[in-house]
Chain A
Amino acid sequence: MNWLPPFVLGLWGAVLLQAWGSGRLNLLLQADFHWLVLVSGLLLLALAGLAARFAPKRRSGRTPALVMLLAAPLVLSG
């Protein structure tokens, strides 16, 4: 399969985990939602791994993946 979508999904998993681990969430989000960000980050990483392993080879719909790819490092940088 096209490597880009699973890679971008994993990258966003890392973005959420970094936001949770760095304490940045304390400034951005109510405490009640922090666990959701953590669980979502872990889930996105797991899904990225599964998609890279099992999803069929197909090369279409790359634009959203590229947009998300470009945005992830920006959010990661804080």
Chain B
Amino acid sequence: MGIVLKLGMNWPDGSQWQTVWAVFQGLLLEAIPFLLIGVAIATAARAWDPRGRWLQRLPRHPLLGPLSGAALGFALPACECGNVPVARRLLAQGAPMGASLGFLFAAPVLNPIVLLSTWAAFPDRPWLLLLRPLGSVVIALVLTTLLQQLSEAALLAPDLLEERRMGQPLATASLLDRRSGLIGNQPLSTTPAIAAERPSMGVLLDHGLREFLELGSLLLLGCGIAATIQTLIPRDLFLAVGQAPTLSVLSLMLLAVVVSVCSSVDAFLALGFAAMVTPGALLAFLLLGPVIDLKSISLFSRIFRRRGILLMLAGVVVAVLLIGQWLNLVLL
């Protein structure tokens, strides 16, 4: 509340809470179908390749790994809500870290739906259609390199780490690492271990259902926070800095985090204020939102430990700021 008063705003009245409620419902109803798509893809991957043999063959090369993961976005189209369960499944099945993270960070932009919507919203700005996917790949490479500086144990959420190690050969992860319960430790995960054979439909449904409910409950939290903050802070405040090269990039980055709009429609939202801001700020808005926003940040707790989330946040903010600044230097 103190922050609200310092920003010169009043504590929300009845009508503002109605706005918060409407925004919350809008965000949630937009995100749930994509979450369902993501969980469905993850469940299909579990059914098709229960031991992760195919996924483990993705490139481990520091450059080719993230690039191959990013390219998966074209085959598995999902926005930032839907790609969290898919990336989590890739990691759980033992896919190389670089490829999984490349998918997580680049797929929300590098998919046909998002590229088509960007083109539909900005047919007069071909540079945007080129720089958005390109920037997204650069960000994926930066974040993948950065996060891989941490060990898997320091980076991944405990239950995901356990599931990932169950799928890795003993040469890579010992019985102690696996915490399988065989040598005294209780298993951390509530999900059943990866089956040697193809899991039955019942097991698949059970796993998919629980994953949907777990991520859905986190999504509720994220949508609630995003709806409250974007109602309390008027959007005009973010656009007030207009043509200031650095400030406009920073404020549009903040706007992208706050509005938490799905990457498949964010270009249409950006169309409304594109003429008022610098090109770098516009690109920054379209690059940052698909990686991180208030709605999706809670979902990342299913993949990363807190240290990983903080490192990812710092990395993406610096990378997007530099890309936005570079574009302003070139075009202004």
Contacts and interface: CB of A to CB of B under 8 A. Distances in A.
A68 B30 contact: no
Interface in A38-57: 39-40, 43-44, 47, 50-51, 54-56
A24 B22 CA distance: 10
B210 A54 contact: no
Nearest to A43: B36
B25 interface: yes
B1 to A, nearest CB: 23
B36 A44 contact: yes
A26 to B, nearest CB: 11
Contact of B220 (A16, A25, A60, A67): A67
B202 interface: yes
A54 B32 contact: no
A64 B30 contact: no
B155 to A, nearest CB: 23
Contacts of A40: 32-33, 36
B202 A55 contact: yes
A16 B29 contact: yes
The range of chain A's interface size is 35 or more
A67 B32 contact: no
A54 B29 contact: no
B254 interface: no
A25 B29 contact: yes
A19 B29 contact: yes
Contacts of A78: 25
B181 interface: no
Interface in A1-17: 1, 5-6, 8-9, 12, 16
A4 B305 CA distance: 29
A61 B214 contact: yes
Contacts of A68: 213, 216-217, 220
A54 B268 contact: no
A54 B202 contact: yes
B190 A33 contact: no
Interface of A: 1, 5-6, 8-9, 12, 16, 19, 24-25, 27-30, 32-33, 36-37, 39-40, 43-44, 47, 50-51, 54-56, 58, 60-61, 63-65, 67-68, 71, 75, 78
